[in-house]
Amino acid sequence: MQGNLAWAIAIILALFMWASLSMFPKYYKDGRVFLSIRIILIIFLVFNQIERTVYLVPIHTREMIESGYLSADTGEWGYVPNYFLMYFCTLSAWAAIILLIKPNKWVMDTFFPFMLMGPIVTFIFPTEKPYFWSTDPWDVINWFTFYFGHACTLFAAMYLYLYGHTNYKFGRDAIFRSAITAIIVVCGVEVWNQYFGSDYIVGEVAGALELNWPRPYIMLFILTVGTVYLGIGLSFAYFFKPIYGENAEQKVHNTWWENFLGYVEKTQQSRKNEIGRK
């Protein structure tokens, strides 16, 4: 119950953070604000990756000891490959950090849909439900890092996209590069799994969907169904056009929030005019 309440609070805060990009375009357009937010996000996301590593490495090592892959005398930090978290969301977060340090179209083309879909899927189907009023310090820290590490990855991608800082556009290059990235990451991580005994991506999907298939079949399933995942991620760029042109220099169109406020204002004015005629 407490985990669900904390989950709901995190969703509400994340939705407001994402929606604020359309609610306050003049604020986010400012160059000083852009620089400040980039610095804050870089610091937080790097801290987030360090914290998640410190928290998860002992857990992964204990699981590998229990499965018999590692010997019982292996210390919690005794298996170096576990220091490298190969979750798709972790890789997307590092892509976001690179983009925040130096915005560029190539990285955006390769990771944009994953920086959106990873956080969205995580918020819908969270693998953890920590709560910030817990007496366990790890729960308190993990509430911020688990939920807002994902939320800030999506926020960074949408901020850079909507305000024209990478000149990213939906098109053939974006589709091709993100599809190739997905294939390379899924296959590359599976090679990592085979060499180092981990269970990233394939194991996560198998566990979540309770698939008892041979790993090659699960890989094929991921690459096939993944086209839907990829398509939904890319659809954001198709349906949500940038608010500003390159480097936030020229406004391209009003946001959905500005259109909503304009509609409300127009409706209220119409009612006042009707009352005045009576």
pLDDT tens string 248-278? 678 877 888 878 877 777 777 777 767 666 6
pLDDT value at position 275? 67
Lowest mean pLDDT among 148-152, 172-176, 228-232, 254-258: 254-258
| pLDDT score of 135 | 79
Tens digits of per-residue pLDDT, 2-18? 778 888 999 999 999 99
Q: Per the domain annotation, does 96 fall within a domain?
A: yes
**Total number of domains constituting the chain:** 1
Residue 268 lies in a domain: no
d(CA 149, CA 22): 21
Q: Please, are residues 154 and 161 in contact by the beta-carbon 8 Å criterion?
A: no
Q: Residue range 190-204: average pLDDT?
A: 91
Bridge partners for 251 per DSSP: 244
Q: What angle do CA 236, 237, 241 make, to 5 degrees?
A: 110
Digit-coded pLDDT (tens) for 28-72: 988 899 999 999 999 999 999 999 999 999 999 999 999 889 998
Q: What is the mean pLDDT of residues 196-208?
A: 86
Per-residue pLDDT, 46:
96
- Read off the pLDDT of each residue in 99-128 and give the average, rounded to a whole number: 90
Residue with tokens 């819908």: 124
Measured in whole angstroms, the distance separating CA 80 from the mean position of its chain's CA atoms is 26
The C-alpha angle with vertex 158 and arms to 226 and 9, in degrees rounded to 5, equals 85
Q: Note whether 230 and 97 are within 8 A (CB).
A: no
How far apart (Å, rounded) are the C-alpha atoms in residues 46 and 41? 8
Percent of the chain with pLDDT over 70: 96
Please report whether residue 48 resides in a domain.
yes
How far apart (Å, rounded) are the C-alpha atoms in residues 190 and 227?
18
The phi and psi torsions of 135 (rounded to 5 degrees) equal -80, -10
Instruction: Give a yes or no: residue 58 inside a domain.
Output: yes
Higher pLDDT, 15 or 208: 15
SS3 of 158-208: the string is HHHHHCCCCCCCCCHHHHHHHHHHHHHHHHHHHHHHHHHCCCCCHHHHHHH
Q: What is the pTM of this model?
A: 0.90
Q: Quick check: is 278 in a domain? A: no
**Is pLDDT of 226 > 90?**
no
Inside any domain, residue 264? no
Burial of residue 98 (CB within 10 Å: 0-12, 13-18, 19+) is middle
What DSSP state is assigned to residue 77? T
Average pLDDT over every residue of 222-238 = 86
Quote the pLDDT of residue 277: 65
Token reading at 7: 């989950």
Q: Is residue 54 part of a domain?
A: yes
CB 244 within 8 A of CB 250: yes
Higher pLDDT, 191 or 269: 191
Residue type, 191: V
Give the pLDDT confidence score for residue 202 in this predicted structure: 87
Specify the pLDDT at position 276. 65
**Residue type at 77 in one-letter notation:** W
* CA distance linking residue 183 with residue 177, whole number of Å: 10
pLDDT band at 200 (very low <50, low <70, confident <90, very high): very high
Q: Is 236 part of any domain?
A: yes
Q: Which residue has the tokens 């229990």?
A: 66
Q: Which sign, positive or negative, has the C-alpha torsion 217, 223, 227, 228?
A: positive
Domain coverage including residue 231: 2-258
